């Protein structure tokens, strides 16, 4: 077998050769799937590079490539978490386009046996402002939840920037969530997205001034748990994205029976999903978009009782994930889409909002090395050719 070598930039400002490993042949999951964890992949969207738009202001989606990637995730056993932050929701993707994405994804899921899709419902069509009231936040949630249900989707109730801006106390959060959850048809997944992903969500659950008084999210954890307990019949689970295993476990221990913890911790997901004698988390992760073949094989091994293989498969994906989600964490989507392009899931490296520019050439070169180490470049020659073209356009010589 021939080997492929490529010169990659380093943090020292030099070029260093990197020889790619042979591709890993990840097995497909058994049919029917028999995992002992519920696992959703938050999926990215593929931009339309030929649309005549101003990409910082308008989103244009390549629907065929976007839906093809969801079929890829379903084929590997994952449910799809649709129209979340991984799809640049509220970060380039507006509510009308998100709703079109939801409708198309739900319709596509109906054509795939066993496919599962939950869809983000939030308040992103209501800009945070001084005159926003709790009633307006509730109405915004109601509008999006009704639209998701009308499309036939299950709901992921997303954190609200508008609520974070106008809530003054934990009681305000309890009132809003109580009103909204009382009306949903089926249990939802709540999403607590931390301020490292979205600075506008600082102080969530505690209200104005709460951030300074609750730097470790201790009070917020208890408020979130109280809201869930008060509405347990309408809550399937909660996704926590705080990048802190201790904080996730603390909330997990407070959940009522039957409510799942879906880890959103892209730093510590392997240990949290694997669990220990005190419990485990299920998963709803953006990194699953990028590591789906390996994660699928790992979850199959875990279901087969082979914890050692589960750990061995996921161990090299953790450094990759920590790199993709490194601060500023809100730019992680650039790495997700870059890896999808390297692996041939899309024909270009263009993103909604022009976010392909949000990470440096050096950052993406290190992502290439880490993806290779994890066995996640499915066609090394294609990946190397695309990396060379990216470096050439970036002014980096071979």
Q: Is residue 370 part of a domain?
A: no
Q: Average pLDDT, stretch 127-155?
A: 96
In terms of residue numbers, what domain contains 213? 35-326
Q: Is residue 52 part of a domain?
A: yes
pLDDT tens profile 321-354: 999 999 999 999 999 999 999 999 999 999 999 9
Q: Which DSSP helix (H) or strand (E) runs through 283?
A: strand 282-285
Overall domain count for the chain: 1
pLDDT tens profile 276-320: 999 999 999 999 999 999 999 999 999 999 999 999 999 999 999
Q: Is residue 192 part of a domain?
A: yes
The answer to whether residue 267 scores a pLDDT higher than 80 is yes
pLDDT band at residue 3 under the 50/70/90 scheme: confident
pLDDT for the residue 398:
56
pLDDT for the residue 237:
98
pLDDT cut 70: percent of the chain above it: 97
Q: Is residue 21 part of a domain?
A: no
| Greatest Cα-to-Cα distance within the chain, rounded to the nearest angstrom | 65
Q: Is residue 296 part of a domain?
A: yes
- Close Cβ partners of 47 (under 8 Å, ≥ 6 residues apart): 55, 59, 60, 61, 62, 348, 350, 351, 352
Q: Is residue 64 part of a domain?
A: yes
pLDDT for the residue 397:
74
pLDDT tens profile 82-125: 999 999 999 999 999 999 999 999 999 999 999 999 999 999 99
192 and 224 in contact (C-beta within 8 Å)?
A: yes
Output 392 or 398, whichever has higher pLDDT.
392
The answer to whether residue 2 scores a pLDDT higher than 70 is no
The string over 49-73, giving b where at least 16 C-beta atoms fall within 10 Å of a residue's C-beta and e elsewhere, is eeeeeebeeebbbbbebbbebbebb
Show the DSSP H helices in the chain as ranges.
63-75, 95-109, 134-151, 161-166, 170-181, 210-213, 218-230, 245-252, 269-274, 287-303, 307-314, 317-324, 332-342, 361-373, 380-393
pLDDT band at residue 32 under the 50/70/90 scheme: confident
Q: Is residue 383 part of a domain?
A: no
pLDDT for the residue 33:
81
214 and 176 in contact (C-beta within 8 Å)?
A: no
pLDDT tens profile 51-68: 999 989 999 999 999 999
294 and 270 in contact (C-beta within 8 Å)?
A: no
The answer to whether residue 211 scores a pLDDT higher than 90 is no
The CATH number for 74's domain is 3.20.20.70
Q: Is residue 371 part of a domain?
A: no
pLDDT for the residue 108:
98
The answer to whether residue 1 scores a pLDDT higher than 80 is no
Q: Which of 1-10, 138-147, 176-185 has the lowest mean pLDDT?
A: 1-10
């Amino acid at each position: 077998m021939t080997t492929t070598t490529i010169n990659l930039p380093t943090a020292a400002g030099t070029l260093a050769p990197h020889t790619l490993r042979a591709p890993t042949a990840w097995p497909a999951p058994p049919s029917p799937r028999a995992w002992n964890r519920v696992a959703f992949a938050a999926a990215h969207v593929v931009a339309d590079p030929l649309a005549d738009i101003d990409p910082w202001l308008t989103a244009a989606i390549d629907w065929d490539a976007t839906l093809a990637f969801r079929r890829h995730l379903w084929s590997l056993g994952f449910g799809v978490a649709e129209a979340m932050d991984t799809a640049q929701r509220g970060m380039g993707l507006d509510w009308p386009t998100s709703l079109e994405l939801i409708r198309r994804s739900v319709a596509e899921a109906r054509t795939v046996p066993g496919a599962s899709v939950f869809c983000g419902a939030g308040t992103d069509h209501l800009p945070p402002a001084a005159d926003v009231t709790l009633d307006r936040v509730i109405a915004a949630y109601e509008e999006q939840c009704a639209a998701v249900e009308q499309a036939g989707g299950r709901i992921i109730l997303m954190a609200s920037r508008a609520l974070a801006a106008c809530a003054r106390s934990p009681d305000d959060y309890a009132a809003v969530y109580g009103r909204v959850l009382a009306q949903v048809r089926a249990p939802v997944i709540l999403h607590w997205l931390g301020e490292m992903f979205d600075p506008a969500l600082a102080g969530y659950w505690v209200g104005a001034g709460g951030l300074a008084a609750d730097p470790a999210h201790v009070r917020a954890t208890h408020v979130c748990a109280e809201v869930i307990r008060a509405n347990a019949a309408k809550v399937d689970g909660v996704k926590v994205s705080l990048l802190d295993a201790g904080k996730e476990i603390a909330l997990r221990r407070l959940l009522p029976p039957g409510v799942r913890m879906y880890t959103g911790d892209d730093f510590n997901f392997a240990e949290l999903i694997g669990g220990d004698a005190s419990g485990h988390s299920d998963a709803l992760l953006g990194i699953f978009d990028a590591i789906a073949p390996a994660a699928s094989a790992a979850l199959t091994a875990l279901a087969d009782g082979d914890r050692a293989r589960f750990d061995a498969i996921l161990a090299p994906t953790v450094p990759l994930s920590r790199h993709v989600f490194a601060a500023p964490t809100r730019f992680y989507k650039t790495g997700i889409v870059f890896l999808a392009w390297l692996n041939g899931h899309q024909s270009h490296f263009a993103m909604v909002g022009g976010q392909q520019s949000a990470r440096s050439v050096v950052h993406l070169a290190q992502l290439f090395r880490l993806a290779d180490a994890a066995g996640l470049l499915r066609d090394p020659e294609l990946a190397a050719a695309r990396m060379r073209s990216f470096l050439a356009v970036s002014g980096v010589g071979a």
